[in-house]
Each structure stands twice: as C-alpha cells, then as structure tokens.
Structure 1
Amino acid sequence: MGGAPAAAPSPLQDPAFTALLPHSATLRGDLAQIQADGLAVEWGRAGGGTFYDRANARIVLDEKSQGDGAWIARSISHEMGHHRFTEAPDYSSRQAYVDYQLRNEGAATLANATVRHEIVQSGGPDINVSGAGKADYIRIAGEHLAGNLSRDQAIGQIAAVFGTEKPSVSTGSYVDYYGGHYDTALVPWLRATGRLPEPADAALTQAAHPGDQRMAEHLRGQLPAGTSAEHLLDLSVRARELGLHPGNSQVLQQGEQAWVASTQTPGMRVMADLQAAAPALEHSLQRSQAIEQGQQQAHGERSQAMAQ
C-alpha cells in the first residue's frame, strides 16, 4: 500500500541528513564525537523543540524535522556546539551567569555557522543559521574561518549579538531573560546551598521556570506534606517535559510511590519513589533550562521556515 515513507529510526539515519555529510568535515566530526561520547540522538514529539540534554547525554530533535536535511544538520551542529562548550557555569553574580549563558549560545551558533560555511563552499545547500542575527553570525564565523578572529573572540562577538535577540518565551532580550532566570531560580538555590549568605526562601526553590513553579504549586496540594523540594521540582520538570500542566494532570499515589498522570492521555505519566533520594535541585534546574532552550529554538526554527 502507498503512503508516506517510514521515518528513519534516528535523525542521524535520515537520508536527507546523510546526503549532506560529504559536504562538511566538521559535521562528520560531530557524528564521530557523538559516537565516541556515547550521546543518544533521538526524535522528540512534534512541537517539543530541539535541544541538548546534558544531564541525560542526549540530543532531541523535533520530529517535525524528519526528512528535512538542512534542519537536522543545523540542529545537530548547533547542539554539538553546546556539547563541546565546557566552560564551567559561573554563578558568582548575575552578570557572570548571563555572560556564561550567552557564550554557551555563541559556541553553539559558531558551530552551526561553521558547518553551514563548509556545506555552501562544497556546493551543497544553505542549511541556514539559527537566530535573528544570522547575518552577523555568518559574518563573524567567516572572519574566524579566515583566521582573523580566534575561536574565543568569535564566540564573544556572537554572544554580544545574541544577547540583543528576543526569546519567544518572554519579553525583553536574552540578557533580561537569563538575568531573570538567575534572580528567580538560581539565587534561591544558591542561598539554599550556602553559596550566597542570605537564608533560602523555600517557596522559591521550585521557581526554575514559571511553568515549573505553577506545576509545583499544583502538585504540592496533592502530595504528602513532607514531600521534599527536590522531589517536587523533579516531578514538575519531568511532567512538563511530557507536556503536562496543571490543567491536564493529577497526582496518583500508592504507598510511597507517586505518579503525575495525564487526565487526557491514558498512560502518559511520570513516577517518583518518595522514599528514594530525588535528583539534586541543580540537576532539575538544568533539565528545566533544556526545556526552555528547546522551546526557544523550536520557535526560531518555525520563524525561519515561515520566512523562507
């Protein structure tokens, strides 16, 4: 019978993507590093975004990119730029944290622009560069590849441009966005872990993201009173990864096991053993940030697709 061809089991096996590999040595190197570092590369749900999940050693691509080689190559190169960015997070101040996040995005964007340059120079298609400042990113990457800028200088210049872009999930610039994340999510955690002298406000330690905060408040009233902040944030973030929110979820409990289950889709749920140790707050904050980055990039991809 006819119908659409079956999707490749992995983005790396998509024929539209593999056709681009001969055009870029850097992209082939990305694949070699993915294998060497044991990264999983998998399809995510449609509309769920494309993101690098450092905590779980995986790259997730929106399944809407199936069959779109340029989209897959752009995403793989970008997320591998995040993977190779090994500078330690700097939580010492709001500005230091913002600078770290912008440099992380700068490294990912430079990786994307480098692969684009190689493919175009080899006679392949233009896979594009993510972000509203793509003209600047392409120019800066060109200066770097010509030997006029060091990698560190190129990342810094791209980071400065990226900071002026506007994320799809909030008002203001990325400088405002990451600064707000530091204020609402990291300051409470830093205080709770003794990295800042002020006492922690326990009500804020769940504020990794407004969506997580709302979910945590939704779950708090349904879970046992003694449920730790770590369990609460872990369940909130994992539920949000599945697309659950206060309007379509409920808590089910049997003994010390608790589930956050969809009220609309049977079988969609996350589980936690409340007697076992929960992931550290920092781990859940990283997962929360990965969701946000995936949503931002998905929005950027959709905007680029509409503009083309």
Structure 2
Amino acid sequence: AGGGGAGPSIGDLIAMSPTLSRQLRELQADGWTIVDGPAGGGSSTNRSTKTITIDSAHRANPTDYVRSLSHEAGHAVQANDYTPMAGHTRDEYVTANRDHQLDGEGRATLNNARVRGEIQDAGGPDIGISGTRTNEYQRIADQADAGTITDEQAAHQIGQQIGQHETTSTTHENYNDYYSHFYENRWDTHHPPAGGGP
C-alpha cells in the first residue's frame, strides 16, 4: 500500500497483535477504560482510576494511536513497584523509586516494540516505538526476544536510556531529573526541616 488512502483502522492494527489484543481483554475485564484526552496533551496511565488516556490528536492516525496504546497498556499491565520511605535515607528512597519508574518506562517500551513486531509480522504497517531512540530500543528488545538477555534486563536497559535521553512532554526535563525531583518533593513534604517553627 502506498501513501494516502485508507489504511488499516485502529481495530485492524490491534487485531494484528496477539499481545495487545490479550492485554486489552485482560484490562477491560479488570475494569479499565480507554479514553481520548486533549489533543496535544500526551498519553498516560492512571492506576487509581484504571484509565488509559490517549492523546486525541492520534485518533486520526491509527499507527500513532496504536503505538501510544501499546506503550500505555504496557504500563497498565505491570506491577507498580514502590519503595516506602520508612527505613531509607532520602537518597535511597529517591534513587529506588526513580529506578522503579524508569524500569516501568522500559517495560512499556519493550511492550511497544513487541506489538510493533507482531503487527509487522502480520503484514501491517510500522507503528514505530515511542521516544527518540527507536533503533536502540529495538536492538535491546531483539536481544530479549532472542533470549540473550531477560525481559527485566531489557526493560532496565531501555529505562536507563529513557532516563538519560528522553524528555517529558510537560516539564521538558530528562526522565532521570523528572522522577528524581518528583520523589525529592514527596520526601520533603513528609520530612519538613526540623526546628525553627512556633
């Protein structure tokens, strides 16, 4: 198929990926919903409301939509690792939770790469991989698929790349700084400076 014209729909692309089809069935059975968010507002996953929000600007481009959906579904199906404050220093707490978040980004990106491969294997278009280092993420995903590294090793390697090289759509910080600042602020809110106050 050349440029232009009607290509596969969002539903067609999802059906080409056994992984994404299964994940969406499981998430729906668990009470999750997928909604369109504001155009240009980015895509996200909210565990507390069991909602995946996809940037509505992607609605007109099925490959962009399914790329974002495969990434967010990768977040939704994974455990939410968290290291509590108790028993840890501020630096330990911040580093552990930043790394949990980056590993989560790595798992979501690995999911995106696998869905991409399944769709291409089924004769569909290339949905791409979210982020700026597609080739590097695909190289790591290929190593996991070949069994030379585990999925967790792949997720960690991808997450470290994301932390250093990708920036958030909201604050434009790299993800290392973004997650570090988030957990520093959370720690500081629960540990106000000692003394001085009335």
| Paired amino acid for 2:119 | I
Aligned partner of 2:71 among 74, 78, 86:
78
Q: CA deviation at 1:129?
A: 0.4
In the alignment, residue 70 of structure 2 is paired with which amino acid?
S
Provide the identity percentage: 36
Letter in 2 for 1:178: Y
Name the counterpart of 1:26. 19
Residues 56-95 of structure 1: per-residue CA shift (max 9 Å, x gap): 1111112111132111211111111111221421244221
Counterpart residue identity of residue 178, structure 2:
Y
Aligned to 1:52: 45
1:174 maps onto 2:167 in alignment: no
TM-score (norm 1): 0.55
Aligned residues: 182
Q: Deviations over 1:229-288 (max 9, x none)?
A: xxxxxxxxxxxxxxxxxxxxxxxxxxxxxxxxxxxxxxxxxxxxxxxxxxxxxxxxxxxx
| Paired AA for residue 74 in structure 1 | R
- 1: CA distance, partners of 2:38 / 2:126: 26
Which ranges in structure 1 are unaligned for 5 or more consecutive residues?
A: 1-14, 193-197, 201-308
Which digits, 9 at most, give the CA deviation of each residue in 1:153-209, with x for residues without a partner? 1111111111112414446532122112222x21133327xxxxx659xxxxxxxxx
Partner SS for 2:60: coil
Contact 1:16 1:67 in 2 (8 A): no
Q: Deviation at 1:145?
A: 1.4
Residue equivalent to 2:4: none
Which structure has more RCO (C-alpha within 8 Å, separation ≥ 6)? 2
Structure of larger gyration radius: 1
Which position in structure 2 is the counterpart of 1:101? Answer: 101
Whole-angstrom distance in 2 between the partners of 1:153 and 1:138: 14
Is the partner of 1:43 in helix, strand or coil? strand
Measure, in 1, the Cα distance between the counterparts of 2:81 and 2:189. 17
One-letter code aligned to 1:189: T
Return 5+ residue gaps in structure 2 as ranges. Answer: 1-7
Native 8 Å contact 1:71 1:127 kept in 2: yes
Deviates further, 59-68 or 149-158: 59-68
Superposed counterparts of 1:219-230, under 5 Å: none
CA RMSD of aligned residues (A): 2.3
- Runs of 4+ in structure 1 deviating by more than 3 angstroms, as ranges, are 168-172
Give the TM-score, by structure 2 length: 0.83
